[in-house]
Amino acid sequence: MKDMLSDEIEVPVLIAGMGPAGLIAAITLARNGVPTLIVDRRTAPSTHPRATVVSTWAMELLRRWRLGGEVRARALDVEWLGLVCETLADPGEPFPVGYPTREQSAVLSPEGPACIPQDELEPILARHLASLQAAQVSWGTELVGVDAEPESPTVTLRDVRTGRTRIVQARYVVAADGARSAARRDLGIAMPGPDGLAEAISVLFRAPLWPMLGDRRHVIYSPTVFDRPGAFVPAGAPDRWVHGIHWDPESERQEDWTPDRLVARIRAGAGGPDLPVALEGMRSFSFAAQLAERFREGSVFLAGDAAHRVSPRGGTGMNTAIRDGFDIGWRLAWVLRGWSGTDLLDGYEAERRPVAAHNVERSADPNGSVRDPLGELQVDLGGRMAHVWLRDGRSSLDLVGDGLTLVCGPRAAPPRERADGPPVARHDVDVLAARALGIGEDGWLLARPDGVSVWSSAQPCLTRNRFVTDFPAPALLRGTARSL
């Protein structure tokens, strides 16, 4: 991987933004051998935790990329419940937060959610990207303008240190440049929805809260002792925390929240008047619930916060961005490698918008952090094939690769492979696994890189009023099995 930006450059894909959406998109493209330039206006990654939840589906992806172990090593061991309590010293009452508990995860997936802050996840992703030769990275480089020509968008980049601007021609652009996206602004794409639903201060601190909590290890704590709403969120080992405080910037200043006042409030919420507290930082932000009017203009695609803004309620923002990045990444890779026609790209917004809309609406709900995990799992997993343990110790999900994955029962006679499509990796499973996957011993299923089954012997694809007898044309892969 190179770390440079020449005066004149043409690239198949330019990605703006090295947050979760941009990094995942860049990794997906680079793993498929597609040359990619990724830029970010920051000169170094953020050191504030921001998000702290990596969902089940996102962990399944990281597992496939052999990054799951590194993430788990840095993640906190928690139960996926919240706790309402007077103070952290009190027993409290657990509540569901929309993510599966350990017991539920053991049934549904080879993985489960991980409690790891975004500023620890991003370096893991960045290091993996650095190991892939097809990627080119440029920190301190800001996208300041984009002209969405249908065939070759023109992008203006600016070096934030020198002010120098450069022009880049790209076949496709992924704008993952955040909530104040310059690309979205230039494209004239509106971002309807409320901003300022609530105002909050996020305080990063270290304190020995885990000894006080004992085995009550949860992902969010909501003490009721406060005079205004607030919460504690674990944000890294061994004792790194975030305390969120609702405040009113119209009637008070951020400077009013002095270190002494913050420490006193943290101690009151913890129920420990002598608790040692080391403050590390504070930032303010607004709760927003907004959805871009469209995710695409020609060959430019919006992803992550550029396409949708959610409040912290529910912890879905980073995970929606991760799935965005992967979805647009594999679709672009297939098109650029000639495995599919460009109509495959139509499926990006068709599939991502309903998920984003659901999460935006949830985050606007004052009670959006409280959800039954079984309902929210359908949103997170997105129709991917079932997890079944195989005889060799792998999960059926471990079979999924970058092309098409064909899973066959022991007596299956699958359709013929097309020469003009993506590569197909065949895996034969035993009778029990085949039945658990719903295909039976003489059946088979075909899955996309995200694990979604697009065709199976149990539900054959109907095309032009007849059942096809060979693999579906790539254009048919733009939707889910249900839409096919």
pLDDT digits (tens, 9 = 90+) for 90-114: 999 999 999 999 999 999 999 999 9
- Residue matched to tokens 């004052």: 366
- The pLDDT assigned to 416 comes to 72
Residue 482's pLDDT is 30
pLDDT at 472 over 70: no
Tell me the CATH class for 195-287: alpha beta
Q: Measure the CA angle with vertex 133, ends 132 and 139; round to 5°.
A: 80
pLDDT band, very low/low/confident/very high, at 481 (cuts 50, 70, 90):
very low
DSSP string for residues in 349-384:
HHHHHHHHHHHHHHHHSTTTT-B-HHHHHHHHHTTB
Q: Beta strand 165-175 with 9-16: parallel, antiparallel or unpaired?
A: parallel
Share of the chain above pLDDT 90, in %: 84
Residue with the two structure tokens 């206006």: 41
Supply the pLDDT for residue 44. Answer: 86
Q: What angle do CA 260, 196, 375 make, to 5 degrees?
A: 100
Q: Please state at what angle helix 317-336 crosses helix 56-64, rounded to 10 degrees.
A: 40
Residue limits of CATH 3.30.9.10 in the chain: 195-287
Segment 199-205 mean pLDDT: 96
In this predicted structure, the answer to whether residue 192 has a pLDDT above a threshold of 50 is yes
Nearest alpha carbon to residue 151 among 299, 15, 294: 299
The backbone torsions φ and ψ at residue 176, rounded to the nearest 5 degrees and listed phi first, read -115, 40
Mean of all residue pLDDT scores within the chain: 91
3-state secondary structure of 116: coil
pLDDT of residue 8: 63
With cut-offs at 50, 70 and 90, classify the pLDDT of residue 418: low
The pLDDT of residue 459? 65
Q: Look at residue 464 in the predicted model and tell me its pLDDT.
A: 30
- pLDDT reported for residue 47: 86
> pLDDT tens digits for 130-145?
999 999 999 999 999 9
9-45+118-190+290-367 CATH fold: FAD/NAD(P)-binding domain (3.50.50)
Instruction: Please indicate whether residue 421 or residue 371 has the higher confidence score (pLDDT).
Output: 371
Query: In this structure, are residues 335 and 342 in contact, taking their beta carbons and an 8 Å threshold?
Result: yes
Q: What is the torsion angle, in degrees rounded to the nearest 10, for the CA atoms of residue 218, residue 220, residue 224 and residue 229? A: 180
Q: How far apart are the first and last CA of the chain?
A: 39
483: pLDDT confidence band, cut at 50, 70 and 90? Answer: very low
pTM: 0.92
**Per-residue pLDDT reduced to its tens digit, 423-446:** 899 999 999 999 999 999 999 999
Cβ-based burial of 33 (10 A; exposed 0-12, middle 13-18, buried ≥19): middle
Averaged pLDDT for residues 43-52 = 89
SS3 sequence of 169-187 = EEEEEEECCCCCCHHHHHH
Q: What is the pLDDT of residue 152?
A: 83
Contact 176, 306 (CB under 8 A): yes
Q: For 217-240, how does the pLDDT look when each residue is reduced to its tens digit (9 = 90+)?
A: 999 999 999 999 999 999 999 999
pLDDT cut 70: percent of the chain above it = 92
Residue with the bigger pLDDT between 182 and 481: it is: 182
234-284 pLDDT, tens digit each:
999 999 999 999 999 999 999 999 999 999 999 999 999 999 999 999 999
Residue 7 has pLDDT above 70, yes or no: no
pLDDT tens for residues 297-346? Answer: 999 999 999 999 999 999 999 999 999 999 999 999 999 999 999 999 99
Mean pLDDT of 53-67: 97
